[in-house]
Amino acid sequence: MGSDSEIDRLLAAAREAATRAYCPYSHFPVGAALLAADGSIFSGCNVENASSGLTICAERSAVLQAVAAGHRQFRRVVIFTPTATPTAPCGACRQVLNEFSPNVLVTSQCYGNERLECRLSELLPHAFGPSNLNQSPLD
């Protein structure tokens, strides 16, 4: 689903981003690296808030960075968690990624050797997105 060197570069960026996470409540630092269609890499980390609903996940942080730089198409996102097994993106992150790239490759990596790789469309089947907004009520 992608070259090892591409995944290694993105994993390094995601691991680095995780070191900058602000997670005083969960103590669960997460980093994400997003590969834009033109090869640019955008990373993000989770930023928690005392009002937990205002917390921003690493994946959404990376998407916001990319969109702010003018990118709207993504090829891959790599998520790093300091866990024994990979952690898939939460539902909110899946929905935000779907807004821009419903078939983006998602790779979740951890301290162990296990890796989760799939398309976003597998993690969010029958997703609601921009294409739904162009349908008439009778379609």
Residues known to be catalytic:
59
Are the CB atoms for 57 and 30 separated by under 8 Å? yes
CA 4 vs. chain centroid, Å, equals 18
Long-range contacts of 43-46 (CB under 8 A, 24+ apart): 43/13, 43/14, 43/16, 43/17, 44/17, 45/17, 45/18, 45/20, 45/21, 46/21, 46/22
